[in-house]
Every structure is written in C-alpha cells, then in structure tokens.
Amino acid sequence: MKKLNKININDLLNNYDDDKWYNLLEEDKCKFNKSGYYKIKCKDDSYIESIEYIGKEFKCEYENVYCKVFGFKDGFEYLNVNVI
C-alpha cells in the first residue's frame, strides 16, 4: 500500500510556483484547520470544489501517488496535512 508523506500546512498554503498545486480561496485555506487526511475534489485543473477532513488515520489503495504527497482515487485527491 502506498503511503502519503505529510505536507506542512505552510508549504500547501504558500505554494507560489508557476505550477500551483491548488488555487486556494481564503475560505478554502480555513478548512485546513487540523492535522490529518483531507479528501479534495477539484472542478478544473487546480480549482477546489470541496474539501473534507477524514481523520488522523486513513488507509487507501491509491490509483496513483504524485510526489509521495498527493494520492488519487476515484476522482478525488488525498493529502496528509501537518498543521502546526
């Protein structure tokens, strides 16, 4: 089973590269308020449709894992976020 590395909340929220992971609105940023796994649905390339906190522990057989941080399964993206 592929495991996701934790991503620091600051790295997620302050990703200013040309290849942004997500285009986060302020209301989206507030949803990342505790450490653990999040299930994300995107409308388009990196625009978020929904964010759901799913808990500190989560096991899944991901279809694909990108950069050892993003897991993909059934049209959703999964992250293991570390909030400090």
Sequential DSSP letters for 20-33: -S-B--HHHHHH--
Residue 1 lies in a domain: no
* pLDDT tens digits, one per residue of 39-60: 999 987 778 899 999 999 999 9
Residue 52 lies in a domain: yes
Cβ neighbours of residue 59 under 8 Å, at least 6 residues apart?
1
* pLDDT tens digits, one per residue of 1-33: 678 999 998 888 877 666 677 888 889 889 999
The total number of structural domains that make up the chain = 1
Residue 73 lies in a domain: yes
Question: How far apart are the C-alpha atoms of 50 and 18, rounded to whole Å?
Answer: 23
Stretch (H or E) spanning 10: helix 9-13
Look up the domain containing 58 and give its range. 6-82
